[in-house]
């Protein structure tokens, strides 16, 4: 795939913008589609090509990167009114970067193949910061030939690109990733809430915990927002983790696997959402423990 290939891009949110910016910086022409006018304005300001509809985008590209939130939005993008299926030409490659149920992903591959569209199952991790830096870890899966076509695009947005096997394998790996992320995030929130209750200096607490054996990526990234109580600037919402931890629990039930820590983290996010904070930044999970204490 040469450097002037046009790539379709759907979902210009916190992570999507970083990924799209890296594609542009590395010479790709990006035709973007998003429901929000401000996202399309942003894309145009970066040198991308805003598309007012999925059909307009589909006419211009053979490969599409999709950064929407979940399977429901993915389904609408592909099979909803004005969706890509029936618009993309034969041989097109659809790269799904969302966190989704592995069973849905496997079924989706079969459905898209009926329309001569190849699915690349490629969830990512690394957060908005990783998307901006182009250092995402990409848990890729899919048939070898379309994956080879997708790989240069994936390498433009991620520093570690893996091929795990058939479609669904990437989704399964992302579920494991979210299990750890959810547990680490909830544990960080619990620890900082306890430090607050004990009257410890929170800035020093975060510095010390981040420098020792108890450190985690989630503590370092979300910790500052937790101690500042700044939950309005959303990079990932509480309800995203309610959804993701639900996928984790689905996987544990299917495997008959007693994942008690995953259940505890799920309940922490669910309780935070139930208190009306579902749309706040996921670091707000610390307030659940603050209340509980």
**Residue 233: what pLDDT?**
86
Query: For this structure, is 4 an active site residue?
Result: no
Which residues 6+ apart lie within 8 Å of 104 measured at CB? 71, 171
Is the pLDDT at 235 greater than 90? The verdict is: no
| Same domain assignment for residues 222 and 83 | no
The last residue of a domain, from among 123, 139, 166: 166
| Reported pTM | 0.92
**Residue 291: what pLDDT?**
65
**60 found inside a domain:** yes
- Band of residue 2 on the pLDDT scale cut at 50, 70, 90: very low
Q: Which long-range contacts (CB under 8 A, 24 or more apart) does 138-141 make?
A: 138/97, 138/162, 139/164, 139/169, 139/170, 139/173, 139/174, 139/177, 140/164, 140/170, 141/165, 141/166, 141/167, 141/168, 141/169, 141/170, 141/171
**1 found inside a domain:** no
Is the pLDDT at 3 greater than 90? The verdict is: no
| Same domain assignment for residues 178 and 106 | no
- Looking at 4, 26, 174, 243, which residue is catalytic? 174
Range(s) of the domain holding residue 230? 172-292
**Residue 1: what pLDDT?**
47
Residue pLDDT, tens place only, 152-197:
999 999 999 999 999 999 999 999 999 999 999 999 999 999 999 9
């Amino acid at each position: 795939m040469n450097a002037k290939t046009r790539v379709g891009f759907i979902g210009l949110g916190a992570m999507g913008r970083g990924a799209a910016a890296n594609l542009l910086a590395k010479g790709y022409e990006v035709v973007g589609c998003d429901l929000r006018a401000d996202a399309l304005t942003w894309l145009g300001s970066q040198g991308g090509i805003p598309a007012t509809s999925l059909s307009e985008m589909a006419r211009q590209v053979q490969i599409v990167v999709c950064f929407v939130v979940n399977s429901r939005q993915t389904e609408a993008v592909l099979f909803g009114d004005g969706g890509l299926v029936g618009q993309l030409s034969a041989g097109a490659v659809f790269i799904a970067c969302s966190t989704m149920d592995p069973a849905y992903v496997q079924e989706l591959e079969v459905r898209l193949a009926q329309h001569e569209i190849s699915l690349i199952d490629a969830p990512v991790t690394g957060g908005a910061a990783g998307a901006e830096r182009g250092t995402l870890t990409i848990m890729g899966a899919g048939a070898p030939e379309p994956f080879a076509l997708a790989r240069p695009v994936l390498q433009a947005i991620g520093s570690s690109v893996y091929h795990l096997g058939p479609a669904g394998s990437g989704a399964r790996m992302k579920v494991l990733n979210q299990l750890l992320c959810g547990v680490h995030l909830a544990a960080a929130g619990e620890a900082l809430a306890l430090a607050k209750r004990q009257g410890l200096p929170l800035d020093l607490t975060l510095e010390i915990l981040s420098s020792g054996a108890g450190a985690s990526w989630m503590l370092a990234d979300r910790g500052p927002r937790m101690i500042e109580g700044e939950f309005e600037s959303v990079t990932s919402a509480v309800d995203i983790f309610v959804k993701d931890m639900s996928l984790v629990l689905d996987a544990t039930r299917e495997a008959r696997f007693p994942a008690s820590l995953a259940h505890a983290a799920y309940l922490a996010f669910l309780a935070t959402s139930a208190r009306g904070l579902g749309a706040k930044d996921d670091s707000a999970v610390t307030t659940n423990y603050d209340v509980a204490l």
